[in-house]
Amino acid sequence: MHDKFLSIWVLWEAQVSDTDSFLAEMAIRVSAQKIRRQLSEILKGGPYNPDLLDSQIRRGVSRCVANHRGDVYQGHYPSQGNDLVFGVTSIDTQDVAGYLMKWSGLDELVG
């Protein structure tokens, strides 16, 4: 069943196959939440763990796939290595996480 709350998050999506869509805006929002949580921990004096953050972002991104009716898949979309594969198209979750972590500026802030 389509989650009405999530529908407000899904303004930008990419049709990646005949049956699936990658919910790009949702992936960015989910990743931003994880980055903000890490920043909050750093500001409280906690450690910066880029490997853990990378893993959290990648797992979050894998939850941002919907079927042809717009229903977000429950759990994580299956991956092959770093890739969410949709027929002949794929999204590399490691690339997404790396880009968003670089964009966040955490490395420069902590480094």
Domain total in the chain: 1
Residue 111 falls inside a structural domain: no
Write out the residue range of the structural domain in which residue 80 sits: 4-106
Question: How many Cα atoms are found within 13 Å in the side-chain-facing hemisphere of 69?
Answer: 6
Q: How far is CA 71 from CA 4, 8, 28, 60, 65, in A?
A: 10, 13, 18, 16, 8
Distance CA 40, CA 43 (A): 5
Per-position pLDDT tens, the chain of length 111: 344 444 444 457 677 777 888 998 899 999 999 999 999 999 999 999 999 999 999 999 999 999 888 889 988 999 999 999 988 889 999 999 999 999 888 888 887
Residue 57 falls inside a structural domain: yes
Residue 31 falls inside a structural domain: yes
66: β partners: 21, 72
Residue 9 falls inside a structural domain: yes
